[in-house]
Amino acid sequence: GENVEQHPSTLSVQEGDSAVIKCTYSDSASNYFPWYKQELGKRPQLIIDIRSNVGEKKDQRIAVTLNKTAKHFSLHITETQPEDSAVYFCAASNPNAGNMLTFGGGTRLMVKP
């Protein structure tokens, strides 16, 4: 089955700096890669996703890049703000496995004011 590795497990940045979280996946058939944000005490929520037919997607201060050949994808947050502090999860989905998502281990991002 699919295996998703996520790094780093914790990340501390100064407000205004950029943050990058990286994930690798094992199954080359996976074609959908979402990122979820979970604030303390709240449910995970989708913030951005990318499909395998594109290499990059941006939404205001967040962007995701995908390298299919290397089987890795990354989340980029620019001009970080304290409200970006949360746990971020990457995931991969294989069309042969229905709509199941395999999640990475999560990254705790702390943005210091």
| From candidates 77, 93, 109, 111, binder to other proteins by CB under 8 A | 93
Q: Nearest-CA neighbor of 90 among 40, 30, 14?
A: 30
When asked if residue 16 is in the footprint of other proteins (CB under 8 A), the reply is: no
Q: Quote the least distance from Cβ 45 to other proteins, whole Å.
A: 7
CB 3 within 8 A of CB 90: no
Per-residue DSSP letter, 8: -
| From candidates 12, 58, 61, 100, binder to other proteins by CB under 8 A | 100
Q: In this structure, which amino acid lies at residue 3?
A: N
Please tell me the distance from the alpha carbon of residue 94 to that of residue 51, in angstroms, as a whole number.
11
Q: Quote the least distance from Cβ 104 to other proteins, whole Å.
A: 8
Q: Which of residues 54-73 bind other proteins (CB under 8 A)?
A: none
When asked if residue 35 is in the footprint of other proteins (CB under 8 A), the reply is: no
